[in-house]
Homo-oligomer: A and B are copies of this chain.
């Protein structure tokens, strides 16, 4: 691969001049500039970012780590973050923790070693190793948590207002006349899931109902597992709920599969609402009522904060906490039966 020296030799100038042309930091006379550009093209020269970064101690690169690219929510997050990064001439590299805390640790090191200037992190759903994050921040790396917010770690964070999202869904079901509402939720290691569940409880209480123990179904983020769990609940002797509320997308998918497997139809047999849009939910018949998270915005806002941190335009010593509103998208699955 061509180096700046080869370009300089071919153009008959010094490497300094080539560098000036490339960075545009110093004026260079037109003829030399053209010479240099010609040489660059002829040699198919690409500046070595690695060397540049070593020198400037800047990479203009952000990292984003998500648990699973195949959950539609995360690509949306990434697109939002990417747009914000690009607008400030940063670029974004994405990596995948697969909800594995060891992999998360390794990838955090990797990103750190690659000297990304900041990290957008959706923590892995494992028992969250708060110290991984704390160490990172102490190590001088800017970090913004998205979507899933770790407990007890003072760190910038952007997510949907989880409690509100849960409340929104349950309130809607209550308003539609449902009373025996089951809640299917994900890993309680995640604060976001706990908060959503809290929102559900709140909504029930405000309506003079209580959250029945046998109607809270603790699942995980694997639709297959959730489906199995739900099939058991839906088949068991006890009276069926008249509605199911799911606190996240993958869990919701599992619920829907279980309903299909049990031959139950929504909303005729029981209503269904979920937090997080399911892929192609508009094509499902009947369509699904959804508490929509502003995924793109969350990614965008988080990247904004990260960039502000990097460029030092945010007051230090206090962390930003942004909670965006969820929105109810009505479908047929929660029609009054």
Contacts and interface: CB of A to CB of B under 8 A. Distances in A.
Contact of A139 (B1, B280, B283, B284): B1
A271 to B, nearest CB: 16
Task: Bin chain A's interface residue count.
Answer: 35 or more
Interface in A49-88: 49-51, 53-54, 59, 69-70, 72, 75-76, 78-79, 82
Contacts of A140: 1
Interface stretch (A112-120, A174-182, A201-209, A315-323): A112-120
A280 to B, nearest CB: 5
Contact of A280 (B82, B112, B278): B278
A50 B48 contact: no
Given A94-B93, A253-B280, A114 B50 contact: yes
Stoichiometry, copies per complex: 2
Contact of A75 (B53, B75, B260, B282): B75
Contacts of A256: 280, 283
Contacts of A152: none
A110 interface: yes
A138 interface: yes
Interface in A267-285: 278-280, 282-285
B285 A285 contact: yes
Of A50, A53, A59, A282, most B-chain CB atoms within 10 Å: A50
A35 interface: no
A95 interface: yes
Nearest to A53: B50
B282 A257 contact: yes
Given A46-B109, A50-B114, A256-B283, A75 B82 contact: no
A72 B282 contact: no
A93 B62 CA distance: 12
A135 interface: yes
Contacts of A115: 48-50
A48 B112 CA distance: 8
Interface in A120-166: 135, 138-140
A44 B138 contact: yes
A188 interface: no
Given A91-B110, A280-B280, A50 B54 contact: yes
Given A44-B138, A48-B113, A284-B284, 8 more contacts: A1-B139, A1-B140, A48-B115, A49-B110, A50-B50, A69-B69, A72-B72, A257-B283
17 contacts: A44-B135, A44-B139, A46-B112, A48-B113, A49-B113, A49-B114, A50-B115, A69-B94, A70-B72, A72-B72, A82-B96, A91-B107, A94-B95, A257-B282, A278-B280, A284-B284, A285-B285
